[in-house]
Structure 1
Amino acid sequence: MTQPRSVIYTVSDVAASKAVFTALFGEPDVDQPYYVGYGDGGQHVGITPSPDGTTGPIPYWPVDDAAATVAALTAAGATVVQEPRDVGGMLVAVVHDGDGSAIGISQVL
């Protein structure tokens, strides 16, 4: 299975963001209170409530081994924000680079 590249926006108001993204992409492929997702060819865009109040986009890059990639990024100076965790058949993780920019990692299980 080929993974699409994804950008997930953490938002403070899912319903308000859903209205805007639906105007841009049309009806969502996934529409749940905890996640709304839109597919557009090889690109996936999602919105999810922010767990800690921070909002903004996180690009997710597909990898073969999330744990090994997080280890390599950490060795290169990244800071782990979210260790790899299973979110319905995928492992996802988030690190920050030296400037605090978020980098998401995804692995299909």
Structure 2
Amino acid sequence: MFQGLRTVVYPVGDLAEATAWYSRALEQEPYFNEPFYVGFNVGGYELGFVPDGKAAGPAGPTAYWGVPDAAAAYERLLSLGAQPGEAVQDVGGGVLLGSVLDPFGNLLGVIQNPHFALPA
């Protein structure tokens, strides 16, 4: 039985560069950092990287990471060197989402969803 999303893993060509970029983007260091895998704890979920993989690119699946302000998060990622994917838009019910293409060719989505809250 599924228990819910736990980990999203992105392939990257340069593990050290991806670790540095995501450390800036997430404003934290990884909790696990080895030559074969790097993992960040993002609000109780894991964002991981494996070296020397081929990114799925814009046609691949998009993992949307919760943020308090989707527009601000989108603009911040662009300022860090990401490329525009899907501009932030209201998809109904007050849900705002958008995506960027990280410098390593992976889709990174942000979502502002008033219907989901972190447990207290």
Q: TM-score, normalised by structure 1?
A: 0.50
Q: Which has the higher strand share?
A: 1
Q: TM-score, normalised by structure 2?
A: 0.45
